[in-house]
Amino acid sequence: MINNKYNQHLQNNTFSTLFVGQNLIKLSEVDSTNNFLKELVSKSEPLPEGTVIMADNQYAGRGQQQNIWHTEPGKNLTFSVYLKPSFLNIPQQFLLNMAISIAVNEALTNLLGSGVSIKWPNDIYYKDLKLGGMLIENMITGSRFKSGIIGIGLNVNQQHFAPHLNGKATSVYQILHKDVSLKMLLTDICSHIESNYLKLKAADYLYLRNAYHKRLYRYHEQHKYRHNGEVFFASIQGVRDTGMLVLLEGETEKEYNFKEIEFLN
């Protein structure tokens, strides 16, 4: 049922969006789609909002916290979307991450059914394994956003991972045991990005906060975390619009930013 819906929607192999993906630039090879898009934004004529850069082979992909994003050429989705959320204030900046994470989660839930979640801040998980991640790079002028480069990497048709990723990463192939069309999955993700981005533009923050929390990995569950070398049990109470994670340890609520806290198994 879930897969039928997905296939039907994607049989139409064109973007049914108003702007996200309408200007699609497909590269056979690039260092990083985020770098390419950033350079395009700084150099060229005004770039249409919603421009997507997709690469078959991204050989120097960047992940969060200066990590490298490795991906097998031709097997996975590596793309970047250009957005101009100039209507958003800086303290609300994480609402953009929420909108995009929800969108990717929705498209993957169409494909995989239950089990897909968002691991704070914006990793895409299937059960306890990482299916993909995002690198969102914002350019800010004064107190407003100028532009956002939304880089998304998803493990799609890759069958095997390096040994150090065993028990950490998974792919659509490993879950469904079949290849799926990268273009069709990209099309579906773009249409979900557009509808959630339009909710952000319409200031429907309540919807976005609820949808994000509903999909949040380990939300309201007791698990182990590490902060400054100290290991403790806590449960996630929520994520602020600024992106801070709120943990409840015993009776005490504390807020953490991305670099301060580690999820343990």
Binding site for ligand BTN (CB under 6 A): 32-34, 58, 61-64, 67, 69, 78-80, 123, 133-135, 151-153
CA atoms within 13 A on the CB side of 201: 10
Q: Which is nearer to ligand BTN, 64 or 237 (CB)?
A: 64
Which is it for strands 129-141 and 144-154: parallel, antiparallel or unpaired? antiparallel
Q: Whose CB is nearest to ligand BTN? A: 133
225, 246 Cβ separation under 8 angstroms: no
**Which residues 6+ apart lie within 8 Å of 112 measured at CB?**
2, 126, 172, 175, 176
CB of 102 to ligand BTN, least distance (A): 17
CB of 259 to ligand BTN, least distance (A): 13
Q: Which is nearer to ligand BTN, 21 or 61 (CB)?
A: 61
Q: Which is nearer to ligand BTN, 49 or 199 (CB)?
A: 49
CB of 71 to ligand BTN, least distance (A): 7
Q: What is the DSSP string of 43-106?
A: HSSPPPTT-EEEEEEETTEE-GGG-EE---TTTSEEEEEEE--TTSBGGGTHHHHHHHHHHHHH
CB of 122 to ligand BTN, least distance (A): 8
Q: How far apart are CA 220 and CA 4, in angstroms?
A: 32
CB of 135 to ligand BTN, least distance (A): 4
